[in-house]
Amino acid sequence: MTARIAQLSWICVVTLTLTSHLAAQDSSRGDHLTDTYRPVAGQLIGAALTDEVGWEKLIYLTTQVGHRLSGSIGLEKAIEWAGETMQKEGLENVTLQPVMVPHWVRGAEHAHVVGPVERRLSILGLGNSVGTGGETIEASIEVVGSFDELEELGRERITGKIVLYAVDWEGYGRTVQYRSRGASEAARFGAVAALVRSATGNSLYTPHTGAMNYADDAPRIPAAAVTVEDAAWMRRMAEAGETVTVQLYMEAEMLPDAESANVIAEITGSEMPEEVVVMGGHYDSWDVGQGAHDDGAASIAAWHALTLIHQLGLRPRRTLRVVLWTNEENGLRGGNAYRDYVKDVIDNHVAAIEMDGGNERPIGFGVTVPGAQGPSRGMPGTPDQQVANSRTQNALDLTSQIGVLLEGIEGGLITSGGGGADIAPLMQEGVPGLALRTVGEHYFDWHHTDADTIDKVSPVDFKKAVAMLAVMGYVLADMPERLDGR
């Protein structure tokens, strides 16, 4: 109760002081967006910080629906609920855009060490993996620390073994490659299965799942993630000259594609309704945990930002649209389907905003205008690159002015480099992309695990995200100029 009172007190203080803080900003810089949108930014931020309905939506999604893997009953329940609720809230043009999605089912799975000692291994099968064909695979472990080491060992050492990628954590971007293509690389050398150290820097004996892909020119073998602790133990056993033997059983299988949908709603623009600013997150999650940080909080935050704008009676010049994308985790079908859905009017998309990095404390936005590339070896770049670079600078200048409006909630940091998996198809067609950024301190501790639950999300951080998406989305949709200067 004390913590709750403190939280409410903080919100009240921020709300009461926000307008004065914005008014105190130095207007001598000529930041016309900052000056113009101070009043509406104060309205939106105040509404977001004092609202409870958005948080209640997130509680419902994570607690009463739970995880939402593509093809699951949970995802379809969440989609139906979102569409119905958006209509009740009065949002416009609510649409469930049909999307066919992969339907991977985990089934029962377990792994045990049977020699030289007996112990259970905690595993999570990797998304899209095949199963063990109704049989239990028993084989010795061959530990490798890289693809180069796998190749050095060669077929003679690998054939008939279970390859364990006990790799060092080098950040998600570098470490995740072993999850995505490790099975096929091991299969090329005759491995019967692959185990992968979970893609995280910290662990409390929690395995992390995630998508993997099979190469067309390699056999398909089962693949699962093991905990950081078990990967390290098996590596130390190998270094001590011990041969670890494991039994692996997985029922995973890919069923025929299933029907799903992107959930779309909007506020139609008052002057340029054909031009669109789209924002959102992916609505699906893995079949573990609750999909709270990845990506339920973002989906609800973007949706509720639109709801608050509507409830305040605000209507920007351009159309402001929210999309809850389906099937980001193991197929990217939703993002591609949306691109196809708007293919004839993609040039009218002036910006796309995605939040898919968890909902820790939000700090700002990254911005990218596709096609930009800095000078190389003293050369100014091609004419097209120079134009794109100029548009990027224009976008950074404009979003930096909007960022000033968010400094009162410590959300005004604007940097180059924005985007996301679901808006990538739009960005490939030239649409400027933005990503909401957070401090990113613990996201990969619970990413793709049973620990991705709502207790890891701070209500204050969630409300800040709602406020930031509301302000950024509204101003981009309402300001006279396009973000990229065209």
Q: Which amino acids are annotated catalytic?
A: 328
Cross-strand partners of 325: 282
- What is the C-alpha separation between 307 and 366, in angstroms, rounded? 24
Which amino acid is it at 118? E
Sequence-ordered list of residues with C-beta below 8 angstroms from that of 84, at least 6 positions apart, any chain: none
User: Alpha carbon of 128 to those of 50, 224, 370, 427, 468: distances in Å?
Assistant: 42, 10, 31, 26, 35
Tokens of 294: 């990845």
Closest CA to 109 of 230, 222, 223, 248: 248
> Could you give the angle at which helices 383-404 and 32-50 cross, rounded to 10 degrees?
50
Assess contact for 257 and 103: CB atoms under 8 A: yes
Q: How many helices (H) and strands (E) does the chain have?
A: 13, 16
Question: Are 234 and 253 contacting, i.e. CB atoms less than 8 angstroms apart?
Answer: no
Taking only Cα atoms into account, the Rg of the chain, rounded to an integer number of angstroms, comes to: 24
Tokens representing residue 206 in the block: 């929690």
Q: What is the torsion angle, in degrees rounded to the nearest 10, for the CA atoms of residue 325, residue 123, residue 292 and residue 18?
A: -110
- Are residues 71 and 305 in contact, defined by beta-carbon separation less than 8 angstroms? no
Phi, psi of 115 (to 5 degrees): -170, 150
Calculate ∠ Cα 371-376-377, nearest 5°: 175
Whether residue 478 is preceded by a cis peptide bond, meaning omega within 30 degrees of 0, is no
